[in-house]
Amino acid sequence: MVPSDLRYFRWLEEIVVSPSGERVAYTVRRVDVERDGYVVDVFLRELDGDGEARRLTGGDGEASSLAWSADGERLAYVWSGDEGRAICVLRMDGKGAAYAVEGKAPSSLSWSPDGEQLACVRWTKVERGDEPVYGEPWPVEPSMRVIRRRVYKLNGVGFIEDQYKHVWILALGSGGWTQVTGGENDYGEPRWSRDGERIVMVRMEREINTAIGAGELVIWHVEDGRLERPLREWSGIGQSPRWGEDDQVLVFTGHEAPEMANWRAYSTVYRYEIGEGRPVDLLPEVNEAVGNYAVADQRKALTNITVKWPERSEEVTFLLTELGAVNLYSMSAKGGERRKLAGEQSVVFEYDAGGGRIVYGEANPGNPGDLWLLEGGERKRLTNLNPWLRFRKLSRPEAYWYRGLEGADVHAWMMRPTGFGQEKQYPLVLQVHCSMFSWDFHFENQILAEAGYAVGYSNQRGTTAGYGEAWTKEILGNSDDVDFQEIMMGVDDLLERYPFVDGDRMGVAGGSCGGLLTNWIVGHTDRFQAAVTQRSISNSVSRIGSSDTGPLHVLSEHHTHPWEDLETTWNVSPIKYAPQVKTPLLIIHSDEDHRCPIEQAEEFFTVLRWMGKEVEFCWFQGESHGLSRGGRPGNRAERLRRIVGWFEQYLGR
C-alpha cells in the first residue's frame, strides 16, 4: 500500500431507496488523475433479482443530493461539472430533463408529493438597502469585501459574506423558480409533508448567539407562505426532520443543551406531535450519540446525524456511535426497544429505507465501504467496489483497553507493520485526536504500516462519541493537559504490552484537534523523536477571531473568552510552550482552511523557527480543512509522502 494507490479507490457516498423498495440509487466517487479531481457517478440497481447496477451518469462532474419522486418513477440529483450546475430529473424509461442553476450547486432536494415541484437549498444573496455611500464611485470596481456578520466564511465553502442558504422551489413544468425563505438566516433540509401542504425545514441564525443559533425546526405553509415556529422554547439543535404518515407527527435528531455553545452535547431522536407541547426523547436511556462520529480519511463528510421514517412504516432508523463502531438501529416511531440491524466492529456510514428494505453502506478496517441490502433479517452484499485491495498487504487493527486516569478504561488499537516479524523492534507512530478513532478503513495508517511502522491510537477522554456523554465532556473547562496525561499513560502501557515497539524511536501525529494535541505534546515532553501536526490550532487567543467557529469552540472548550480571562486562554495555547519544544516538527496546513486558519500554522512555525527549532512547514494551496479526505488527489498523495518521509528521516525503519 503506497500513496499513489489513492487513484484506485472507489468510495460509496449517497444512498436512496425508492419508496416501494424496488430500486436503489447510489453515488460512487472515484479519482480522475488527468484532471487531478474526482468524478461522482450515479448508479441504479433493481433490488429484485441479481441484476447488475447500471451507471446513469457520464462525463466529468459530480452528482449529489439524490431524491426519488413519491411514485418511484423519477430520480432527481444535482450535477456539478466544468460546464456548470444543473438539477437533473431522470425517468425510469430513460428520458429526462436538466434545469440549469446559476451560482453554487443546490442541495437537499425534496419532491412535492404530486411530483410537480422540487424544493432545494441554494446560496442566495441578501440585498441590503441601507449601505451608506458618498460621492460618485470610482470607474473601476474596487477589490474588497464588505463584511457585516461574524460568520462570513465557512470551511469548504469559502467567503459567503452577504449570501445565505435559502429554500427555493423549482416548478418542473415551467422551469420557474420561487424563493420560499428570506432574510439573514440560513435554512436547510426541507421536507414536504405527505399531503403537500407544508414544508418542514431547519433554520439557523448566522451569529450563533440566539435561541435558534444552532438550528430549530420551522414549518412553511404552502397556501399562505406563513412560517411557523412549532418549538418556540427550543434552545439546542434540530436536524433531519421527517414527517409521520398522517402529517401530524415529526421525528428529528438533535439535543437541547443547557448551553448554546456546548457543541459536545450528544444528539438523540425526538418525536413531536404537532401542537402538543414539547418533543419526546425516544432514547432516554441511551448514553451514546445518534449519528456517525467515526474519524477516517475515507469519508469526505465526518458525520451523518439523521433519522429516517419510510412511508407506510411504523419504525424509524438511525445510527448510534458505540465503542469505536457505528451501528444501524431501528425502533418504533413511538419509542420503546431498539434493534441493532448492522455494525459490530465496523462503520455504517450511510443508509436509506423503503418498502420494508434497508440499504446501507458499511466499512471496516479492510474495506472502505460497500453497499448492503437488509431484508427480512437477511443481509446481502450488493457491490464490490475495491477488489484490488485483495492484492495489497493490509494490517488489521488489534483492539485492547488500558487503564487511564482514575483507573478509567481507555479503548485503544495497535496496527503491526505489514512485514512484521517477532525478532525485530519497530518504530512507532502514535496517532492522536480528540474526536473518535474507529473501525473504519484508514488509508494513512495502512501506508505507515507498509512503510514499517507500528501504529497506535486510542480514544482517551474527550473523544466526541462512543463512550458516553460524560466521557466526551470530561475535558471541558480543563487544559489539554488532561488529554496529554491519559495519552502518555497509554504510551507507557503500549510499550509494556508490545515489546516489539522501540521506545527510543517514537513519532506522534494528528490533525485538527489532533493537531492541537500534537502541538501540546511536543511542548510538554521530549519522548518523541519526530512529530507531524496538521490543520492544527496553536493559539486560542488569535483563533477566536479568525476561525469560522472560533468564539463557539473556544467558549465551549475553555468556558471563557480571552477578553474575560486572557491568562486561561493563553495557558491552553500550545504556542505558549514553544520554548520547550525539542521534537523535530513537520507542520502541514492549507490556506483555505477556515476551521483552523493558516495563521495558526504560520504563528507556530515562525516562533519555532525564530527559536532555532527543527521545523518544516508544508503549505498546501487551494485546500480546505478536509485536505486529507477530500482534497485534490495529487495533494492528498503528496501529503502522505511528506508524512512518511519525515518519520523515515528521524525514526528510520
Give the structural domain span for 509.
393-651
Helix (H, G, I), strand (E, B) or coil at 232: coil
Residue 338 lies in a domain: yes
Q: Has residue 319 got a pLDDT over 90?
A: yes
Q: Which of 387, 421, 442 is where one domain is finished?
A: 387
- Give the domain CATH number at 401: 3.40.50.1820
Do 417 and 333 share a structural domain?
A: no
- Better pLDDT: 111 or 472: 111
Which ranges of 505-619 would DSSP assign to H, the alpha helix?
Answer: 513-522, 540-543, 550-558, 566-571, 598-610
Do 271 and 409 share a structural domain?
A: no
- Better pLDDT: 451 or 466: 451
Do 435 and 383 share a structural domain?
A: no
Do 568 and 434 share a structural domain?
A: yes
Q: At what angle do helices 481-497 and 513-522 cross, to 10 degrees?
A: 80
Residue 616 lies in a domain: yes
Give me the pLDDT at residue 209, please.
64
Residue 444 lies in a domain: yes
Q: Which of 337, 355, 387 is where one domain is finished?
A: 387
Do 220 and 298 share a structural domain?
A: yes
Predicted structure pTM score: 0.96
Do 257 and 123 share a structural domain?
A: yes
Residue 27 lies in a domain: no
Do 403 and 374 share a structural domain?
A: no
Do 438 and 573 share a structural domain?
A: yes
Q: Give the chain's domain count.
A: 2
- Distance in angstroms (rounded) separating the CA atoms of residues 273 and 650: 61
Do 454 and 492 share a structural domain?
A: yes
What is the average pLDDT value for the chain, to the nearest integer?
Answer: 93
Q: What is the pLDDT of residues 549-591, one digit of tens each?
A: 888 788 878 878 899 999 999 999 999 999 999 999 999 999 9
Do 464 and 431 share a structural domain?
A: yes
Residue 259 lies in a domain: yes
What is the mean pLDDT of the segment spanning 514-528?
A: 97
Give me the pLDDT at residue 422, please.
84
Of 590, 599, 602, give the one whose Cα is nearest residue 630. 590
- Give the domain CATH number at 211: 2.120.10.30
Residue 46 lies in a domain: no
Q: What is the pLDDT of residues 470-503, one digit of tens each?
A: 999 888 876 558 889 999 999 999 999 999 999 9
Q: Which helix (DSSP H) or strand (DSSP E) does residue 630 occupy?
A: helix 627-630
Residue type, 491: V
Do 284 and 179 share a structural domain?
A: yes
Q: Which of 365, 387, 409 is where one domain is finished?
A: 387
- DSSP state, residue 294: B
Secondary structure string (H, E, C) spanning 160-175: CCCEEEEEEEEECCCC
Q: Has residue 139 got a pLDDT over 90?
A: yes
Give the Å distances, CA to CA, from 106 to 103, 167, 277, 395. 9, 10, 34, 40
Residue 5 lies in a domain: no
Q: What is the pLDDT of residues 339-368, one digit of tens each?
A: 999 988 999 999 999 999 999 999 999 999
Do 399 and 302 share a structural domain?
A: no
Residue 240 lies in a domain: yes
- Which triple of cell numbers denotes residue 138? 470610482
